[in-house]
Amino acid sequence: MYRIASRKELNPSMIQLEIEAPLVARKAKPGQFIILRVDEEGERIPLTIAGADAERGTVKIIFQVVGATTEMLRRKREGEAIQDFVGPLGLPTETAGIQRVCIVGGGAGCAIAMPVAEEFHRLGAKVTSIIGFRSRDLVILEDEFRTCSDSLTVMTDDGSYGRHGNVTVPLKEMLEAGEGFDMIITIGPLIMMKFVVAAAKPFGVPVTVSMNPIMIDGTGMCGGCRITLVRDGKRETRFACVDGPDFNGYEIDFDEAMSRSRMYADFERHAYEEACNLMKQA
C-alpha cells in the first residue's frame, strides 16, 4: 500500500497528491509516468509524474477527474493509501543540448509540462513558458511556472485572466519577432498540440509533443495509445506508452489520434456516472 502524504485541490476538477513511494522517487525523471490502482479491484491507469522528492521519498501526481477511477482517487484523503503505484515508466524528456526551450502547456497538460520546465531551469537553459486554460477558475501551477521560467505568458480562452486567446497567439508573436528556440515542447489536448506544431512549422523549429493524453493501460497491450508516424512518406505504428510518450510533432498523424481518442469518451462518462451513483449509495 502507498500512503498519501499530502492532498491539494488545484481547481474544481484537478487534484494534486503526493504519494510515499521511495523507490519510484529515486529514479523518476520529467516526462515519465506511473501506473496506479486505487484498490485491489480497481483498474490500472497511467498518470504522468508531476514531481519527485528523492529525500522525502514522495512522488507528486496531478489528475483531472474524468472517469470512475479518478473519481475514486479524488475521494481519497491525506493519510489514506492506494493499492499499487508502479514506475517510473516511459522514456524521460530529452534535454541534452537544448539551451533555449519554449514550453507550451494546455489545461491538464500543464501538470506534465511543469516538471519539464523545472528540469530545464535546473540545467541552466533559458525557459519560456506559455500556459493556456479555458477560464480563470481553471488556472493551475502559475506560481510554479513563474519560478522556473525566464518568461511566462498565461492565456485564457474567455479572457478572464492573463491574455485573451489560445497558446499559439503568443507563440507566433515570439517566432515572428525572431525569438530563437532550440526546441518547443508542447503538452495538452491533441487539438492544441496539432496547432502548436502548425504554428512552428514555417519557422523550422523542432517540436516535441507528449502523447500522454491518449494512454490507457500504459503497457502497450491494449493498443489504445497506438499512433501513426509519417516519415519520408511512409506510415509507421508506435505506442505512446512504450515508445514515448514524447515524439517528433511533425511526424504525428494528429487527425487519426484525435479520432481514436474520441472512441472512449462515452465509456468514461458512463463509468464515471456509475461510480458516483455507487458511492452515493454506500
Q: Are 118 and 148 in contact (CB under 8 A)?
A: yes
Residue 109, φ and ψ in degrees, nearest 5: -65, -20
Give which of 111, 163, 148, 104 is closest to 129, Cα–Cα. 104
In a domain, 206, yes or no: no
Residue 77 and residue 106 share a domain: no
Question: What band does 269 get if pLDDT is binned at 50, 70 and 90?
Answer: low
Same domain, 111 and 169: yes
Query: Residue 164: which H helix or E strand, with range?
Result: strand 163-164
pTM of the model: 0.85
- CA distances (Å), origin 242, targets 154, 217, 224, 239: 32, 11, 12, 6
How far is residue 221's CA from residue 199's CA, in Å, rounded to a whole number? 34
Residues 105 and 140 in one domain: yes
Query: Mapping DSSP to helix (H, G, I), strand (E, B) and coil, where does residue 235 land?
Result: strand
CA-only gyration radius of the chain, Å? 18
Q: What residues are paired with 208 via a beta bridge? A: 185, 248
278 found inside a domain = no
Cell digits for 92?
A: 524521460
Q: Of 59, 89, 119, which residue sits at a domain end?
A: 89
CATH number of the domain where residue 183 is located:
3.40.50.80
Q: How confident is the model over 119-138, as pLDDT tens digits?
A: 999 999 999 999 999 999 99
State the pLDDT confidence band at 264, using cuts at 50, 70 and 90: low
Q: Please report whether residue 178 resides in a domain.
A: yes
User: Within a domain: residue 112?
Assistant: yes
Contact 142, 162 (CB under 8 A): no
C-alpha–C-alpha distance, residues 258 and 131, integer Å? 21
Task: State how many domains the chain has.
Answer: 2
What is the structure's pLDDT at 240?
76
pLDDT of residue 226: 78
pLDDT of 85-95, one tens digit each? 998 998 899 99
pLDDT of residue 21: 96
Query: Which of 72, 89, 106 is the last residue in one of the domains?
Result: 89
Q: What does the pLDDT average to over 74-90?
A: 93
Same domain, 49 and 144: no
**8 domain residue, yes or no:** yes
Give the structural domain span for 24: 2-89
Task: State mean pLDDT over 249-253.
Answer: 92
Whether 278 shows a pLDDT value over 50: the answer reads no
Q: What is the pLDDT of residues 173-226, one digit of tens each?
A: 999 999 999 999 999 999 999 999 999 999 999 999 998 766 665 555 666 677
In this structure, what are the phi and psi dihedrals at residue 104, rounded to the nearest 5 degrees?
A: -120, 110
Higher-confidence residue of 110 and 282: namely 110
Q: Do 56 and 6 fall within a single domain?
A: yes
The pLDDT tens digits of the residues spanning 51-60 come to 999 999 999 9
Percentage with pLDDT > 90 across the chain = 63
Answer left, alpha or beta for residue 281, where phi above 0 means left and psi between -120 and 50 means alpha.
alpha
Residue 192 sits in the same domain as residue 124: yes
Are 10 and 70 contained in the same domain? yes
In a shared domain, residues 66 and 115: no
User: Is the separation of the CB atoms in 239 and 225 below 8 Å?
Assistant: yes
Q: Among 159, 182, 200, which residue terminates a domain?
A: 200
pLDDT at 232: 83
Which helix (H) or strand (E) is 270 found in, with range? helix 265-281
Give the model's confidence band at 271: pLDDT under 50 very low, under 70 low, under 90 confident, else very high.
very low
pLDDT mean across residues, the chain: 88
Q: Are residues 59 and 128 in the same domain?
A: no
In a domain, 243, yes or no: no
Pick the closest to residue 127 from 140, 107, 144 (CA basis).
144
69 and 7 in a single domain? The answer is yes
DSSP string for residues in 180-218: --SEEEEES-HHHHHHHHHHHGGGT--EEEE-GGG-SSS
Same domain, 74 and 126: no
234 within a domain of the structure (yes/no): no
Q: Quick one: pLDDT at residue 217?
A: 56
Q: Give dist(CA 89, CA 47) in Å, integer.
A: 10
67 in a domain, yes or no? Answer: yes
* Same domain, residue pair 35 and 47: yes
Helix axes 254-261, 190-200, angle to 10 degrees: 170
Per-residue pLDDT at 223: 63
Find the CATH number of the domain harbouring 66. Answer: 2.40.30.10
